[in-house]
Amino acid sequence: MFGSFRLFHALAAVLLPAWAAAQAPVQIEVNAGRVVHVMAGGAGASWHAMGQTAYWYKDLNRANRNSRGSGWGGNPPLEYSEAWNDLRRHAGWLGLDFIRVEVSMRMYEPERGRFDWDSDEMRTLYRILDICRELHAEVFLTQMWQDVEWNAFPAAGRLASAPKSVPDFAVGVGALLEHLVKDRGYTSIRWFCMTNEPGMGWGWWNGADGHPAALMPALRAVRAELDRRGLPGVALSGPDWSLYDEHPEFDFSDPAVGAHDAHDYSFTADAGMERVWADRAHARGIPFFLSEFGSWAGGEPFTNPTTTSPASYANQLIDAEKVIDGLNAGVDGFNRWSFTNRGDLDGAWQLVRTFDPQKWDYLKRVAPEPAPYYSYGILTRFMASHSAVLDTKTQSPLVAAAALRSPRGNLTIYVLNHGGGAKRLRVAAAGLDGPRVLYKYQVMEWTVGAPGYHMNPIRSFDLSPEQPELSDQVPGESITVYSTYKLTDADPGIAGE
């Protein structure tokens, strides 16, 4: 009834270590009647529109080949129609509803005042935004860098330079957003971030002396330009980096700042830092987004860009902990690096395979990168945008849990057992407003790596106000979801309701 993996999981449950059955169960308490936060977004992944061309940058302070990280070249050529159909299907299966779409100024304004709305990269952008619109995904549009000579400080270089002329920069950004939102009707663009990872010498916002420049003058100028063009619905976000306390010139209280976002590539989850970020934004009445995150527990990614370490299952468990902890800490949206990615520039971060690094060519069909795809997908498929985060407590430091109520009232409970041993669970859901059927979904390293894996329900539990508890066992290093959503592997994930 629930698919071919039901028997497989039943056998796995029987074969769990005998000592697990003797343990006291881990108590997880969900108060379905107490909302601690309502998300302003959802969960998705970065999807850049920058094309396949590798540029040479004179006097660059990093290797030219991966000078833009892996924020370029991940999409198939526009004529690969089957591959693009695959991308749309995979984005739908994952239920991506908060997507960081990435552009550069070079794409649309290669020379001052000369706009090119029909370049290959712009047509790629339209295709991505068409898919976002079809999936009802909200867009966090990010201009990663300028990459134009005409508005660059020579000491910084065109790729890493803050704008030499802030007024011209603001006019260009305003023209882009007016074209996308008004002319082409992409009203799903809710937020705009004007630069990627500023504030560091290797970052993409450096001034006339080659050192990090202030963000506030450009943020205020862009806000004024968007208001002048009648685009009040596009909020500006910043600073798009994690070490903001080292840059006190960034003014979170300024009305030009409409959202706070940061990146997290730490080797372990840090719920305390996520809560500091979220509290700081919420005190101002604006959302906080983890606008780019990933994990590299195996070491520094840039030392060996062809390795597949970011795609390892161990790193997916860290990512899952960042999401689950982040929900409880008040994070409003999650954006994993990245949906499409060549995989051979600064690590294998991709959720789907679009590029063959051995043949150095694009694939005609797009398939999942199994461990990241399914391990992140089990989180995103059941997370509707604008869900309410419910008060959730767990007793064990080895078990993380969070619970959501969707805008239509669907209940989803996430459980991460990041310890090496199996755990008995007792999940108590207080405050239910009626009977519920929860369907169980689960990933483990050997399941996501198995040929032909399908994510189907493997069991169901009946809950009610009179019988509000379920008992279960979860293997070590597993991600388990209990949800009122009954999704087969053939169904798309939940996005906006």
Mean pLDDT of 48-76: 88
Query: 263: closest CA among 363, 193, 350?
Result: 193
Instruction: pLDDT band for 251, please (50, 70, 90 cuts).
Output: confident
Question: Is beta strand 478-483 parallel, antiparallel or unpaired with respect to 411-417?
Answer: antiparallel
Residue 229 burial (CB count, 10 A) = 16
DSSP 66-88: TTTTT-SS-SPPTT-HHHHHHHH
Q: Which CATH class is domain 43-380?
A: alpha beta
Q: Does 77 sit behind a cis peptide bond, omega within 30 degrees of 0 on the bond before it?
A: no
What's the confidence (pLDDT) of residue 157? 92
- Residue 154: CB atoms within 10 A of its CB come to 13
Q: In this model, does residue 447 exceed pLDDT 70?
A: yes
Q: Where along the chain do its domains lie? A: 5-38+388-483, 43-380
The pLDDT of residue 297: 66
Q: Has residue 222 got a pLDDT over 70?
A: yes
What's the pLDDT tens digit per position in 271-294?
998 999 999 999 999 999 999 999
Band the pLDDT of 12: cuts 50, 70, 90.
low
What is the average pLDDT value for the chain, to the nearest integer? 92
Least confident range from 38-47, 52-61, 77-86, 469-478: namely 52-61
Q: Which region among 99-113, 151-165, 186-200, 248-262 has the lowest average model confidence (pLDDT)?
A: 248-262
Across the range 355-368, mean pLDDT stands at 96
Please compute the mean of the pLDDT values over residues 292-321 and round it to a whole number: 76
Residue with tokens 């987004």: 289
Q: What is the pLDDT of residue 63?
A: 77
CA-to-CA separations, 121 to 74, 104, 108, 128, 401, in angstroms, rounded: 12, 9, 8, 11, 41
Residues in contact with 259: Cβ distance below 8 Å, sequence separation at least 6, in sequence order: 40, 191, 235, 236, 237, 238, 281, 286, 287, 288, 289
Residues 6+ apart with CB under 8 A from 240: 142, 193, 195, 196, 197, 198, 261, 262, 263, 291, 292
Considering the chain, what percentage of its residues have pLDDT values greater than 90?
81
pLDDT of residue 247: 61
Pairing of strands 138-145, 388-394: unpaired
Give the global pTM: 0.93
Residues 371-404: tens digit of each pLDDT: 999 999 999 999 999 999 999 999 899 999 999 9
How large is the C-alpha radius of gyration of the chain?
23
Quick one: DSSP state of residue 123? H
Which CATH number applies to 5-38+388-483: 3.40.50.10320, 3.40.50.1240, 1.20.1420.30, 2.60.40.1180? 2.60.40.1180
Q: Would the pLDDT of 304 be above 70?
A: no
The SS3 of residue 192 is strand
> Which of 11 and 216 is assigned the larger pLDDT?
216
pLDDT in tens, 336-350: 999 999 999 988 999
